[in-house]
Amino acid sequence: MIERIKEEASRLLPEMIEVRRHLHRHPELSFEEFETSKFIQQRLTQLGIPFEVVSKTGVVALIQCGAEGKVIALRADMDALPIQETNDTEYASKNIGVMHACGHDVHTTSLLGVAAILKNMAPELKGTIKLIFQLGEEKLPGGASLMIRDGALENPAPTAILGQHVYPELEAGKVGFRSGKYMASADEIYLKVIGKGGHAALPDRNIDPVLITSHIIVAMQQIISRRRHPNMPSVLSFGRVEALGATNVIPNHVEVAGTFRTFDEEWRLKAHELIRELAENTAKAMGGNCEVDIRVGYPFVKNDEVLTKNAKMHAIDFLGPGNVVDLEMRMTGEDFAYYSQVMPGTFYRLGTKEGADGKMRGLHTSTFDVDETCLETGAGLMAYLAIKSMEE
């Protein structure tokens, strides 16, 4: 079985490279994936796989195997980022200011590869494969939440879901797994600190929102150092502070934006409360005001212990022990979290780096690119994991 899937994946590689390059040339932003969606639908039609369009641009397809059995969902996201590509390749983005800089072109191509492999083998297999081509991963409220709301996990309801993401820190041909908590919840924090502007030389006549903001930002870190349980990874970062005064002008207000990330729903809500209280009360104590707006983002990604342990074991059988690594927890977010919060799921990483000393091309940068041989693993391993999961 392993040899057969590997041969299929290797036979499909040139075609997958074509598909990936096509998607890479024509990236579309979150919730605007109309052409990408059409392209996926055409490929599925060519393969003779029935599908439904969900949440405008999402696509859910079903491969019914020869015998009844478990329903397993496989998910790939398909949106791109608002980044101007600077790579000088023949397949560089043709859409100005839009780029597949997070590898979702690889995820989509791999899942189409899986579809081709499993469609061929289906008569001999037991179960049902649900292919979820998901929109809008990069932007709140997250395409996963919309597709779940619109019934992507019903009729039939899968018992488990698998997803993969490119990983430029790992060489192509390798993959990584992690059981339990893997990626953080991510919320956006917006503060508007209101004082009273005026001449910088007459501070007693003003309420200085710049100084108040400075106190708030420093004080906020005590929520992380003193109120958080020491065992609970959390990050509170403010990347944007806008005070439009001058050397001699105190502004009326300051705007601040940041992110809060962690791995526990109860602490997450508690922390929101503490952030709000601390910002409002610090501002008040100094004669000002603070408006706090917390936009709740994705929950944390929880990889099911049993599913992940089994998937890792099968990956070792498929790729060899030297090609399967354990991953560290990450503070980045992923809307795969929405699936993993409602059903057993595992989200694993697909190595995309060129060779051991290949250049690392960071995700979300204008120079991101992959070693396209990763598609062979991206499709082959996922097909194998799907088959094994249907059996378990």
Query: Which parts of this chain interact with Ni ion (CB under 5 A)?
Result: 102
- Least Å distance, CB 33 to Ni ion, is 14
Q: What is the CA radius of gyration of the chain?
A: 24
CB of 241 to Ni ion, least distance (A): 27
Q: Which tokens belong to 40?
A: 């996926």
| Distance in angstroms (rounded) separating the CA atoms of residues 392 and 346 | 15
DSSP assigned state of 310 = H
- 187 counts as catalytic: no
Q: Which residue is nearest to Ni ion (CB)?
A: 102
Active site residue 150: no
* 168 vs 380, beta carbon nearer Ni ion: 168
Of these residues, 28, 33, 77, 79, which one is catalytic?
A: 79
Q: Which residue lies nearer to Ni ion by CB, 102 or 292?
A: 102
Nearer to Ni ion, 177 or 298 (CB): 298
Nearer to Ni ion, 102 or 118 (CB): 102
- E strand spans, the chain: 51-54, 58-64, 67-77, 126-134, 160-171, 175-177, 180-183, 185-194, 198-199, 234-242, 249-250, 253-262, 289-295, 301-303, 324-326, 345-353
| Minimum distance, C-beta of residue 49 to Ni ion, in the bound complex (Å) | 24
Q: In b/e form, how buried is each residue of 179-215, taking b as 16+ CB within 10 angstroms?
A: bebbbbbbbebebbbbbebbebeeeeebbbbbbbbeb
Closest CB 387 distance from Ni ion, rounded Å? 25
Please give the positions annotated as active site: 79, 137
